[in-house]
Structures are given as structure tokens and as C-alpha cells.
């Protein structure tokens, strides 16, 4: 560790704390207690040994492989910058690449009359049916608010555990326990049934170029599902796919939709890139799906099926997905339009492995999708 310039002597802890601040700027969630743990473990190993500091930091401040990579970057930049202390702000978070936000436009609204309410009501219904890609910014903004009208219900699965119920099977242990209270005299028979729990839903949202006009609406849908079906670490997990796979569930757990979408936008590095569905799907399955994320889950793929890569690979991976997942739903924004035929090679390859193939271009179709999910 370098800074021994005259007049700028700092205690070891201050340097470490400055480093922790640099990490925070670099995108790692360094909380007070974590920083404390870092200081304690660095002290334990010897704070003057860079290797020890690095190990202590990785163990106490990081919480995922992504964090580890960021940590190493910041560590390099921080301790190899010889010009004193932390002027370097490494790995600044990238600019939000979200371009699809509705622009601010001033729309003065006066007192609503009955007429206006009726007109608004039918306009709302129309808007529900409109293709989200064809909306003006003002219409889009109104539609954004309408996502809150979706009422998702979670698909349920049965659990191994039983619950108390007023009929069903005899609950022997509870019956015993209650008779125990009467010194072994027989008492009321208790009943039980298998419990239920929400089944996990995994959303894979294609954010490649050909889907860019739908990406915003689809992420709003994902946000709505995430919010409605469970808050912290709930049963909805969302990934974006394009040229790579990005896990954005954490961003979507932010309650406010606008802030959540900005956070998601900052996370995703490959907006409007190409599509290599087969490869990204394989990556998803290797990294997450097979280990349990998709196992027994309802998996929803949002994509138009424009595959630039190998469609045989896509078919293979869809077959794999189907074997792991409880139900595979493909949502295609073009499905509901007049004259649509499933001719894109990607769709053709995936079709035999799907449970449901549904439309997804308007709020009305999203409402239908919500029903499909609830019954899955």
C-alpha cells in the first residue's frame, strides 16, 4: 500500500475505509456493518499486507461472483494508483440506456365531465387493445399507469407439508397431541390436507434490437408480476436475454415502477443488440436453470423468435428447458397480429417444445397472459 507522502499520513483504517467507499462507488453494496467486518478481518490478517487485505475484502464485502469481479477491478485501480489516495473512481456505473421512457409533456387537465369520463373510459379500453409499439409518448405514459390494473395470481403447487383443515386426511400427530392434553382420553379427530405454495415464475425477456419497441412494456409487466406476487426474494425471477443473460430481479423489486425500470436499465448491458437465443438460453440453463431456478417453475420466454444463431441449438435448449420446467410459455408480440404465421426459424424450432404459445403486444394480451400463468 502506497501513500506515504509527507504530510499525508493516514491511519490504516482510514485507507481501508476510503477503499470501501471506492467499492461503493464501483457498485458494491458496502454497508456500515460490512465495512466494520472488513476492518476487523483485515486487522486479523494484517492490514499492511495487500494480499491479506484483498482476501479479507473479498470475504467480507462481496456477496456474489459479480461482486468479486468488481472488487478485483476496484482493488487494482485503488491500490495501484500511486498518486496518493482515492481520486480514482473506477468502474463508474454505466449511463442508463433506457430510451423508451415517455417524454414529459404538459397536459393540463380541467374538471372532468361525464362526457369526458365516458370518452376516457372507451379510450382506455381502446388503449388496452393497441399494439404498444405503435403508441405515442403520451399514450404510452397513460398505458404505463394501467399496468397496475393487471391482477396477477400465482400458480400454486402442492407442498410436502400438511396444513390443518376441516376435512381430508386424519392428522394423527395433532389428534394425539390434543388427546394428550386430556391425559390420553380420546378427543376430537383433527384433519389435515397437503399445503400449497406459489410456484416460481421465471421470466426471460428478449431485449434484442427487434424487440426494442416492446422491451419497456415487457419489463413493466415483469415489474407488475414481481410486485404483485411477492416482495423480497419472491417467486418471480426475471432475466433479460439478448447477447447475454442478465439477472434483474433485484432491480424489479423496487416498488416504484419508474425507479425499478431505471435500475433494471442500468443492470442490462446489451440493450438492442443481436439475438442469439440458443446460446443465451443455454447459458441460462447452465448457470441458473439446471441448478434449480427453472426446475418445476413456470418459465415464460418473451421473444419474437428472430434467431441470428443456430436454430438447431435453440430447439435443443428448448427441449432441455421443457424437461426441467413445469410449464413453458412463449409470448410473441407478433402472434396476435393479422396475418401472423409462425415462420421465423426460431419460433419454428421452439414450437414443438412449448406448452403455450400466446400473443403479447397489448395490455389486453398481457391480461390474458396473467390468466395463463395463474392456471399453470
Partner 1 sequence: MEPSSMPGSAREVSALLGRTGYLCDDELATVTYLMLAMQRPLLLEGEPGTGKTALAEALAESLELPLVRLQCYEGIDSTQALYDWDFPRQILHLRALEAGGGADPEEAEKSLYDERFLLARPVLAALQQSPALLLVDEVDRADDEFEAFLLEVLSTWQVSIPELGTVRAATPPLVVLTSNRTRELHDALKRRCLYHWIEHPGLDRELQIVRSRAPEVSEALAGQVVRVVQQLRDRDLQKPPGVAETIDWARALHHLGTAELDLETASATLGALVKYREDADRVRHALDQLLRT
323 forms part of the interface with partner 1 (CB under 8 A): no
**Near partner 1 by CB under 8 A: residue from 120, 176, 189, 312:** 176
Grid coordinates in use for 345?
Answer: 426459424
Alpha carbon distance 306, 314 (integer Å): 11
Grid coordinates in use for 3?
Answer: 501513500
Cβ–Cβ < 8 Å for 198, 229:
yes
Alpha carbon distance 332, 359 (integer Å): 5
188 forms part of the interface with partner 1 (CB under 8 A): no
160 forms part of the interface with partner 1 (CB under 8 A): yes
Report the sign of the C-alpha dihedral through residues 186, 190, 191, 197, in that order: negative
Kindly state the smallest distance separating residue 154's Cβ from partner 1, in Å.
14
Segment interacting with partner 1, rule: CB under 8 A, options 41-49, 96-104, 220-228, 355-363: 41-49
Q: Which of 26, 86 has the CB closer to partner 1?
A: 26
- Residue 267: CB atoms within 10 A of its CB come to 20
Segment interacting with partner 1, rule: CB under 8 A, options 55-63, 111-119, 144-152, 335-343: 55-63
169 forms part of the interface with partner 1 (CB under 8 A): no
290 forms part of the interface with partner 1 (CB under 8 A): yes
Alpha carbon distance 4, 303 (integer Å): 56
56 forms part of the interface with partner 1 (CB under 8 A): yes
**Near partner 1 by CB under 8 A: residue from 197, 255, 259, 337:** 197
Segment interacting with partner 1, rule: CB under 8 A, options 20-28, 141-149, 290-298, 368-376: 290-298
* Per-position DSSP letters for 268-308, written without gaps between them: -S-TT----HHHHHHHHIIIIIIIIISTTSEEEEE-----S
**Near partner 1 by CB under 8 A: residue from 17, 25, 45, 81:** 45
With residues binned 3-state (H G I as helix, E B as strand, rest as coil), the percentages for the chain, rounded to 5, are 50, 15, 35
Q: Which of 58, 97 has the CB closer to partner 1?
A: 58
31 forms part of the interface with partner 1 (CB under 8 A): yes
By three-state DSSP, how is residue 239 classified?
strand
Pairing label, strands 191-198, 169-170: antiparallel
170 forms part of the interface with partner 1 (CB under 8 A): no
Kindly state the smallest distance separating residue 197's Cβ from partner 1, in Å.
7
Alpha carbon distance 170, 190 (integer Å): 6
Q: Which of 41, 303 has the CB closer to partner 1?
A: 41
Among positions 94-133, residues that touch partner 1 (CB under 8 A) are none
Among positions 69-88, residues that touch partner 1 (CB under 8 A) are none
* Per-position DSSP letters for 299-319, written without gaps between them: EEEE-----SS-HHHHHHHHH
> Which H or E element spans position 94?
none
- Tell which residue, 132, 153, 134, has the closest CA to residue 144: 132
Q: Which of 197, 255 has the CB closer to partner 1?
A: 197
Interface mask toward partner 1 for 207-246; x: CB under 8 A:
-------------------------xx---x---------
Q: Which stretches of 166-279 are assigned E, i.e. beta strand?
A: 169-170, 191-198, 201-206, 236-241, 245-247
Grid coordinates in use for 143?
Answer: 398505458
Kindly state the smallest distance separating residue 229's Cβ from partner 1, in Å.
13
Alpha carbon distance 153, 236 (integer Å): 11
186 forms part of the interface with partner 1 (CB under 8 A): no
Kindly state the smallest distance separating residue 298's Cβ from partner 1, in Å.
15
Question: Which of left, alpha, beta for 81 (phi over 0: left; psi -120 to 50: alpha)?
Answer: beta
153 forms part of the interface with partner 1 (CB under 8 A): no
List interacting residues with partner 1 (CB under 8 A): 29, 31, 33-34, 37, 40-41, 44-45, 52, 55-56, 58-60, 62-65, 68, 159-161, 173, 176-177, 180-181, 183-184, 197, 232-233, 237, 247, 249-250, 282, 285-286, 288, 290-293, 295, 316, 320
Amino acid at each position: 500500500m502506497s501513500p506515504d507522502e509527507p504530510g499525508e499520513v493516514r491511519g490504516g483504517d482510514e485507507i481501508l475505509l476510503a477503499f470501501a467507499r471506492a467499492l461503493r462507488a464501483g457498485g458494491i453494496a458496502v454497508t456500515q456493518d460490512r465495512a466494520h467486518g472488513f476492518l476487523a478481518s483485515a486487522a486479523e490478517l494484517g492490514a499492511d499486507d495487500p494480499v491479506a487485505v484483498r482476501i479479507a475484502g473479498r470475504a467480507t464485502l462481496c456477496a456474489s461472483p459479480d461482486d468479486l469481479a468488481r472488487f478485483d477491478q476496484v482493488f487494482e485501480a485503488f491500490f495501484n494508483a500511486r498518486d496518493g489516495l482515492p481520486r480514482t473512481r473506477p468502474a463508474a456505473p454505466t449511463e442508463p440506456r433506457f430510451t423508451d421512457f415517455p417524454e414529459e409533456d404538459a397536459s393540463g387537465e380541467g374538471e372532468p365531465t361525464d362526457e369526458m369520463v365516458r370518452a376516457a373510459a372507451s379510450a382506455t379500453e381502446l388503449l388496452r387493445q393497441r399494439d404498444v409499439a405503435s403508441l405515442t409518448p403520451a399514450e404510452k405514459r397513460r398505458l404505463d399507469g394501467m399496468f397496475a390494473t393487471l391482477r396477477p395470481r400465482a400458480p400454486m403447487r402442492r407442498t410436502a407439508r400438511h396444513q390443518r383443515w376441516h376435512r381430508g386426511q386424519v392428522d394423527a400427530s395433532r389428534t394425539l397431541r390434543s388427546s394428550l392434553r386430556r391425559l390420553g382420553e380420546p378427543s376430537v379427530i383433527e384433519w389435515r390436507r397437503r399445503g400449497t405454495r406459489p410456484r416460481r415464475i421465471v421470466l426471460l425477456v428478449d431485449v434484442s434490437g427487434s424487440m426494442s419497441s416492446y422491451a419497456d412494456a415487457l419489463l413493466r409487466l415483469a415489474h407488475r408480476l414481481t410486485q404483485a406476487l411477492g416482495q423480497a426474494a419472491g417467486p418471480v425471477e426475471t432475466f433479460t436475454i439478448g447477447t447475454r443473460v442478465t439477472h434483474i430481479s433485484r432491480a424489479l423489486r423496487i416498488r416504484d415502477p419508474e425507479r425499478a425500470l431505471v435500475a433494471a436499465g442500468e443492470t442490462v448491458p446489451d440493450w438492442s443488440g443481436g439475438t442469439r437465443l440458443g446460446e443465451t438460453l443455454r447459458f441460462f440453463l447452465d448457470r441458473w436453470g439446471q441448478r434449480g431456478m427453472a426446475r418445476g417453475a413456470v418459465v415464460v420466454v418473451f421473444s419474437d423468435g428472430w434467431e441470428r444463431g443456430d436454430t438447431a441449438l435453440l430447439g435443443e435448449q428448448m427441449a432441455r428447458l421443457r424437461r426441467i420446467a413445469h410449464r413453458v410459455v412463449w409470448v410473441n408480440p407478433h402472434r396476435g397480429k393479422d396475418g401472423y404465421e409462425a415462420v421465423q426459424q426460431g419460433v419454428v424450432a421452439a414450437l414443438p417444445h412449448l406448452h403455450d404459445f400466446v400473443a403479447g403486444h397489448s395490455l389486453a394480451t398481457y391480461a390474458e397472459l396473467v390468466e395463463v400463468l395463474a392456471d399453470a
